[in-house]
Amino acid sequence: MTERISIGQLYPNAVPPASTRRAPVQQPAAQTGKPTFQQLLQDQFVRFSHHAEVRLQERGIQLKQEQLDKLSSAIDKAAAKGAKDALMLLNGNALIVNVPNRTVVTALDGNTMNDHVFTQIDSAVIIS
């Protein structure tokens, strides 16, 4: 008795156990060239870190939708140039933005910017 018996021979109409089932192979979106919905959604918005939100509140900086649209456009331009961390000047305020993540890391108003040295940035964008 050296013959092997497969599951299909024992239970011809049954579904094989999970260990022998093969899940359909799905290509990641990056390999298919199509961005996922989550990637598309993230590429459209500007996010604010918790630190940046606190600084905006402390310093009384309020950004209107028009300013956010300009900021988003500036991030797109910086990304096209290969920027990673950018200083963005918008209406007398300074924002440090992590460009690949589209995230504002911190914010300074005009008074706080005086005598301030900005480090660990690779680009600057003046938004008018």
Spell out the SS3 assignment of 93-106.
EEEEEECCCCEEEE
114 and 59 Cβ atoms separated by less than 8 Å: no
All domains of the chain, ordered by start, with CATH? 45-128 (3.30.2310)
The whole-number pLDDT of residue 23 equals 46
The whole-number pLDDT of residue 22 equals 47
The whole-number pLDDT of residue 113 equals 86
The whole-number pLDDT of residue 70 equals 94
* Cα-based distances in Å from 13 to 4, 7, 89, 104, 108: 19, 10, 69, 58, 69
The whole-number pLDDT of residue 109 equals 93
The whole-number pLDDT of residue 128 equals 87
97 and 75 Cβ atoms separated by less than 8 Å: yes
Choose among 78, 77, 113: nearest CA to 93.
113
For β-strands 47-48 and 85-90, DSSP reports them as unpaired
pLDDT in tens, 51-79: 999 999 999 999 999 999 999 999 999 99
Q: Which residues of the chain have pLDDT under 70?
A: 1-33, 35, 37-44
